[in-house]
Amino acid sequence: MEDAVSQPSPGIGKVISRMHGSTLGQKALMAVSGIALIAFSFGHMAGHLQMFVGAEQYNTYAHFLQSMGGIKWAIRFGLVALTCLHIFSAIQVSMRNRAARPIAYASNKWIVASLGSRTMRASGGIVLFFIGYHILHFTTLTVGTAGFEKIPEYKLINGLLVDDVYRRMVVSFQNPLLALGYIGGVGLLGLHLSHGIQSSLQTLGVLNSAYRPFFKKLGPALAGFLFAGFAIVPLAVLVGIIK
């Protein structure tokens, strides 16, 4: 029945041109890169939640990440590449979509589309900006570092002296502006994913009639969970639970 089995595979060039050149290919690349980034986000969130365990745990974890060397750079490179792929395909698709309707409706109405789906471009753009700030803030220590200079190195139980990343976080989020900014940033990420998760599954054709209603709920639920996991850290610092 299946012709795919009996016929020769297309050349790799054709595969690439289809994936890169067609609406469905571009969308699939966006979906795959999106899902990979979502997976990273969950890991990242799990890392952050260790703030609740205490300075020892969090700094140990941070030091572990820092000491990964080549692997660390590979992951960083991978994340940048995925982000670029995600953004590149998003721009490609957006440009095509704009061109597809050159004359707008005089009365324009949304009927069922969710808030998340309607704001993907905006939320994605702001989240990108937010991630940029986040990297400049905690990774390169370029911005928002007021008070960091007074933080001494942290001595782990095993005697190792490491950066006190825990304290940097606490100092930062005791600033209400930064805390609320971060909460806002991850809020938009949550909004982006409230549509992104189910949309990427639909784009990859994973959803069938049986699963769709479930994923329609699961997508926003996961996005909400991610938001809560990220937002709770700055919030806890702000209200003084984490000191």
Partner 1 sequence: MNLTLKIWRQKDKATPGKFETYDAKDISPDMSFLEMLDVVSERAQANGQEPCAFDHDCREGICGMCSLVINGVPHGPEAATTTCQLHMRKFKDGDNIVIEPWRASAFPVLRDLVVDRSAFDRIQQKGGFVSINTGGTPDGNAIPISKKEADLAMDAASCIGCGACVAACKNASAMLFVGAKVSQYMHLPQGQAERSRRVLAMVEQHDAEGFGACSNFQECEAVCPKEISVRVIAEMNRDYLRAALVGTDA
Contact residues for partner 1, defined by CB under 8 A = 1-4, 7-11, 14-15, 18-19, 21-28, 93, 96-97, 99-113, 117-118, 120, 195, 198-199, 202-209, 212
CB atoms within 10 A of CB 209: 6
Q: What is the rounded distance in angstroms from the CA atom of residue 243 to the CA atom of residue 236?
A: 9
Q: What is the rounded distance in angstroms from the CA atom of residue 133 to the CA atom of residue 117?
A: 24
195, containing H or E segment:
helix 176-203
Closest to partner 1 by CB, 39 vs 91, is 91
Closest to partner 1 by CB, 144 vs 196, is 196
User: Smallest distance from the beta carbon of 172 to partner 1, in angstroms?
Assistant: 36
Closest to partner 1 by CB, 55 vs 127, is 127
Cβ proximity of 153 and 66 under 8 Å: no
User: Smallest distance from the beta carbon of 195 to partner 1, in angstroms?
Assistant: 7
**DSSP output for 119-140:** THHHHHHHHHHHHHHHIIIIIS
Q: What is the rounded distance in angstroms from the CA atom of residue 43 to the CA atom of residue 20?
A: 29
Q: What is the rounded distance in angstroms from the CA atom of residue 1 to the CA atom of residue 14?
A: 24
User: Smallest distance from the beta carbon of 186 to partner 1, in angstroms?
Assistant: 23
Closest to partner 1 by CB, 62 vs 188, is 188
DSSP-derived 3-state class of residue 122: helix
User: Smallest distance from the beta carbon of 242 to partner 1, in angstroms?
Assistant: 38
Closest to partner 1 by CB, 34 vs 185, is 34
User: Smallest distance from the beta carbon of 101 to partner 1, in angstroms?
Assistant: 4
Closest to partner 1 by CB, 17 vs 67, is 17
Q: Residue 54 — φ and ψ, nearest 5°?
A: 140, 175
User: Smallest distance from the beta carbon of 8 to partner 1, in angstroms?
Assistant: 7
